[in-house]
Structure 1
Amino acid sequence: MGRNRSRKTSETTKKQSTLIKARGIDELVQRLLKVETELNANIPTTLWISDLHGEGDRFKSILRGRFGVLYQTCREALPNTFTTDKIQYLVRIIRQQQYIVDKDIRMDTQDVILCLVQILKYKLTNARYNVDEILMPEFRETISRLLAGLVVPNPIFEEEIISSRLITHLCHGIRNVLLDRIQVLGDVFDRGPQPDKIIRFLSSSPYRRIVDYVFGNHDILWMGAASGNRSLIAEAMRITCRYDHFEFMERLDFDISVLESFATSTYPADRVTGNFKAKTEKGRSMEKALAMIQFKLEEQTIRDFTDYNMGSRLWLDKLVKMLENNQTEGLNDTYFPTLDPTDPNRLTTEEQEVIDDLVSQFVTNRKLKRLLGYLFSTGKTFSIYNDILNIHALVPSTKDGDFDEFLGRSGKNLLNFIQATIERVGNNYMEGKPQDHRDQALFFYLWCGPKSPFFGKHAMKTFERYFLIDKSTHVERSLYWQQNLEQPQFKAKLLSEFGVQRVVYGHTPIDYLKGKHMAGDDGVAINVDGGFAAAYYNRGHSLVQTPHQLYGIILPTPDEIKEAERKLESAPLDIELIDEFLHPMKVKDSQEGKMLQKERNQLMKKITRLEAETTN
Structure 2
Amino acid sequence: MSTNEERYLNLLSNTFPTVADAAAEIINLEAILNLPKGTEHFLADIHGEHEAFIHILKNASGNIKRKVGEIFGNTIRDSEKKELCTLIYYPEQKLELIRAVEQDIDDWYRITIHQLVKVCREMSSKYTRSKVRKSLPEEFSYIIEELLHERSDDQDKAAYVAVIVDTIITTGRADDFIIAICKVIHRLAIDQLHILGDIYDRGPGAHIILDTLRQYHSWDIQWGNHDVLWMGASAGNDACICNVLRLSLRYANLVTLEEGYGINLVPLATFALDTYGNDPCTEFIPILLKDSKIDEKNKQLIAKMHKAISIIQFKQEAAIFHRRKEWKMEDRCLLEHIDFEKGTCTIDGKSYPMNSCNFPTIDPADPSALTPEETLLMKKLHHSFRISEKLRKHIRTILSHGCMYNICNQNLLFHASIPLNADGTLKDVEIMGEKYAGRELMSFIGQLVRAAFQNDTPDETKQYAKDYFLYLWCGKDSPLFDKSKMATFERYFLSDKDTYKEDKGYYFLLRDSAEVCDRILDAFGIVGDNRHIINGHVPVHASKGENPIKAGGRLMVIDGGFSEAYHSETGIAGYTLVYHSRGFQLVQHEPFTSTRDAIERGKDIKSTTQIVEMSTHRMLVADTDKGAELREQIEDLKLLLYAYRHGIIKERRN
Q: TM-score normalised by the shorter chain: which range applies?
A: 0.7 to 0.9
Partner of 1:125: 126
With 568-577 and 175-184 compared, the bigger mean Cα shift is at: 568-577
SS of 2:47 mapped into structure 1? coil
Could you tell me which residue of structure 2 aligns to residue 104 of structure 1?
Answer: none
Q: CA deviation at 1:485?
A: 2.1
Seen in structure 2, the aligned counterparts of structure 1 residues 172 and 444 have a Cα distance that, compared at 3 Å, is: closer
Q: Which amino acid aligns with 1:547?
A: S
Q: Residue 153 of structure 1 aligns with which residue?
A: 158
Q: Which stretch shifts more, 262-271 or 388-397?
A: 262-271
2:454 is matched with which residue?
427
Counterpart in the other structure of 2:573: 539
1:240 aligns with 2:263: no
Structure 2 counterpart SS, 1:426:
coil
> Which residue of structure 2 aligns with residue 529 of structure 1?
559
Structure-2 separation of matches of 1:325 and 1:121: 67
Q: Does 1:187 align with 2:198?
A: yes
Counterpart residue identity of residue 356, structure 1: K
Q: TM-score, normalised by structure 1?
A: 0.85
Could you tell me which residue of structure 1 aligns to residue 272 of structure 2? Answer: 263
Q: Distance in 1 between the 2:544 and 2:145 partners? A: 52
Greater shift, 490-499 or 210-219, is seen at: 490-499
Cα deviation, residue 163, structure 1: 10
Q: What amino acid sits opposite 2:87 in the alignment?
A: Q
Shifted more, 108-117 versus 545-554: the winner is 108-117
Counterpart of 2:449 in 1: which secondary structure? helix
Which residue pairs with 1:468 in the alignment? Answer: 494
Structure 1 match to 2:584: 550
Residue pair 1:92, 1:569 contacting (<8 A) in 2 also:
no
Structure-2 separation of matches of 1:211 and 1:534: 25
Taking a change above 3 Å as real, the CA distance of residues 433 and 376 of structure 1, as seen in their structure-2 partners, is farther
Q: Which moved more, 1:351-360 or 1:459-468?
A: 351-360
Question: Is 2:294 aligned against 1:284?
Answer: no
**602-611 vs 149-158, which deviates more?**
149-158
C-alpha distance in structure 1 between counterparts of 2:593 and 2:608, whole Å: 16
- What's the offset of the Cα at 1:307? 1.9
Amino acid at match of 1:535: A
Contact 1:269 1:282 in 2 (8 A): no
Deviations 1:534-582 (A, max 9, x none): 2112321111111113111112313387655442243321112101123
CA displacement at 1:359 relative to structure 2: 1.5
Give the CA RMSD over aligned residues: 3.6
Secondary structure in structure 2 of the residue aligned to 1:23: coil
Aligned residue for 1:153, secondary structure, equals: helix
Residue 437 in structure 1 maps to residue 463 in structure 2: yes
The residue matched to 2:357 in structure 1 has which SS? coil
Amino acid paired to 1:532: F
Q: Deviations over 1:146-170 (max 9, x none)?
A: 2699642337469996799698876
Structure 1: where are the runs of 5+ without partners? 1-18, 102-107
Partner of 1:603: 637
Whether the 8 Å CA contact 1:276–1:466 is kept in 2: the answer is no
C-alpha distance in structure 2 between counterparts of 1:235 and 1:368, whole Å: 16
Rounded to whole Å, the distance in 1 between the matches of 2:362 and 2:390 is 34
Q: Deviations over 1:491-526 (max 9, x none)?
A: 111111223311110111112222222213732211
State which of 268, 274, 277 in structure 1 corresponds to 2:283: 274
Structure 2 regions of 5+ residues with no counterpart? 1-12, 103-108, 288-297
Q: Encode CA deviations 1:572-598: one digit per residue, 9 max, x unaligned.
A: 211121011232211211233223222
Change (3 A) 1:167 1:363: closer
2:477 counterpart (426, 435, 451): 451
- The structure 1 residue matched to 2:440, chosen from 393, 413, 417, is 413
User: Relative to structure 2, which stretch is displaced further, 592-601 or 49-58?
Assistant: 592-601
Q: How far is the alpha carbon of 1:90 from its aligned partner?
A: 4.3
Q: Provide the rounded CA distance (Å) in 1 between the counterparts of 2:62 and 2:221.
A: 21
- The residue that corresponds to 1:306 in the other structure is 325
User: Equivalent residue for 1:319?
Assistant: 338
Q: Does 1:360 align with 2:362?
A: no
User: CA offset at residue 406 of structure 1?
Assistant: 1.1
Q: Greater CA deviation, 45-54 or 272-281?
A: 272-281
Match of 2:21 among 8, 21, 27: 27
Q: 1:201 and 2:204 equivalent? A: no
| Cα distance between partner residues in 2 of 1:518 and 1:84 | 37
* Cα shift at 1:95: 3.5
Deviates more, 1:156-165 or 1:409-418: 156-165
- Structure 2 CA distance for partners of 1:596 and 1:232, relative to 1, 3 Å: same
CA shift for structure 1 position 138: 6.5
State the partner residue of 2:519: 493
Q: Is the 8 A contact 1:156 1:163 kept in 2?
A: no
Decide whether the 8 Å contact of 1:49 with 1:530 is kept in 2. Answer: no
Give 1:131 shift: 2.8
Aligned letter for 2:41? L
Partner of 1:217: 225
SS at match of 2:282: coil
Relative to structure 1, the CA distance from residue 257 to residue 144 in structure 2 (aligned partners, 3 Å threshold; closer, same or farther) is closer
Question: Which residue of structure 1 aligns with residue 34 of structure 2?
Answer: 40
How big is the shift at 1:85? Answer: 8.6
Match of 2:416 among 393, 401, 404: 393
The residue number in structure 2 matching 1:587 is 621
Distance 2:204 2:19 in 1: 56
**Greater shift in the superposed pair: 56-65 or 537-546:** 56-65
The one-letter amino acid of 1:142's match is E
Cα drift, residue 26 of structure 1: 3.2
Question: Percent identity, aligned pairs only?
Answer: 25
Match of 1:270, SS state, is coil
One-letter code aligned to 2:269: E
Structure 2: distance between partners of 1:614 and 1:239: 65
Of 183-192 and 408-417, more deviation after overlay is shown by 183-192
Task: Find the aligned partners of 2:493 and 2:586 in 1 and give their Cα distance.
Answer: 39
Count residues with an aligned counterpart.
586
Picking from 340, 354, 368, the partner of 1:331 is: 354
**1:142 equivalent in alignment to 2:146:** yes
Q: In the TM superposition, what is the alpha-carbon distance from 1:91 to its structure 2 partner?
A: 5.9
Q: Which moved more, 1:279-288 or 1:226-235?
A: 279-288
Contact 1:120/1:173 (8 A) holds in 2: no
Secondary structure in 1 matching 2:157: coil
Distance 2:111 2:208 in 1: 40
Moved more, 354-363 or 420-429: 420-429
Could you tell me how far apart the structure 2 residues matched to 1:448 and 1:182 are? 28
Determine the structure 1 residue equivalent to 2:364: 341
Counterpart in 1 of 2:106?
none
Q: Distance in 2 between matches of 1:112 and 1:324?
A: 72
Residues 323, 436 of structure 1: CA spacing in aligned structure 2 closer, same or farther, 3 A cutoff?
A: farther
Aligned counterpart, 1:3: none
Letter paired with 1:120: R
- Report deviation, 1:474: 1.6
What is the match of residue 262 of structure 2? 253
The Cα of 1:475 is off from its aligned counterpart by: 2.6
Give the conservation status (yes or no) of the 8 Å contact 1:132–1:140.
no
Q: Is the partner of 2:581 in helix, strand or coil?
A: coil
Matched residue, 1:93: 84
Contact (CA 8 Å) 2:193, 2:218: kept in 1 or not? yes
